[in-house]
Every structure is written in structure tokens, then in C-alpha cells.
């Protein structure tokens, strides 16, 4: 899993809309879908449930969100330290 996947997941989990996520991240909507699918494949679990046009986090998605938030925060902190900003 990489930072772009985590950021895509976090943004999608907050918006529950892949199209809106794509606009926020300046990605193509298909790229958002591919990143989420790749992350779900890597974790071997569904993070989102798609019911018609509605998008919901699964229980696993809810649990994973807190880890994604922490991983992204640690990544930002590490980047800051590495660049001498902290």
C-alpha cells in the first residue's frame, strides 16, 4: 500500500463519493476507483459497499480509516523531519 492509495481512501471515506474524491485530488474518477480496488485487493477485504449510487464504508473500512489517518499523519511528520522542517 502506498501513500496515494491511503490518501485516496481517506478522502473517499470522508466524502463517500468517488467523483467528488477525484475532483478534490485532481485525479480521474477511474483512477480513484482503481486505487481503491487495488487497496481492497491488497488487504483482501472490501472497504466500501456500493449500493446503487450510494457509497458506504464497510465495518473493515471504518476500522481501517483510523489506521490510514495515522499512517498519513506519520508520513507527513517523517517528511517534515527529513526536510529539516521539524
Query: Rounded to whole angstroms, how far apart are CA atoms 83 and 16?
Result: 33
Q: Is residue 85 part of a domain?
A: no
Q: Is residue 44 part of a domain?
A: yes
Q: Which CATH number is 36's domain given?
A: 1.10.10.10
Domain count, the chain: 1
List Cβ neighbours of 4 (8 Å cut-off, separation of 6 or more). 35
pLDDT in tens, the chain (86 residues): 899 999 999 999 999 999 999 999 999 999 999 999 999 999 999 999 989 889 999 999 999 999 999 999 999 999 999 988 76
The helix (run of H) or strand (run of E) holding residue 9 is helix 3-15
Q: Is residue 30 part of a domain?
A: yes
Amino acid at each position: 500500500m502506498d501513500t496515494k492509495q491511503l490518501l485516496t481512501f481517506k478522502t473517499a471515506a470522508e466524502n463517500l463519493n468517488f467523483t467528488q474524491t477525484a475532483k478534490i485530488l485532481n485525479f480521474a474518477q477511474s483512477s480513484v476507483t482503481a486505487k481503491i480496488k487495488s487497496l481492497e485487493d491488497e488487504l483482501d477485504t472490501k472497504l466500501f459497499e456500493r449500493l446503487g449510487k450510494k457509497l458506504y464504508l464497510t465495518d473493515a473500512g471504518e476500522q481501517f480509516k483510523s489506521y490510514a489517518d495515522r499512517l498519513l499523519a506519520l508520513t507527513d511528520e517523517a517528511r517534515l523531519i527529513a526536510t529539516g522542517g521539524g
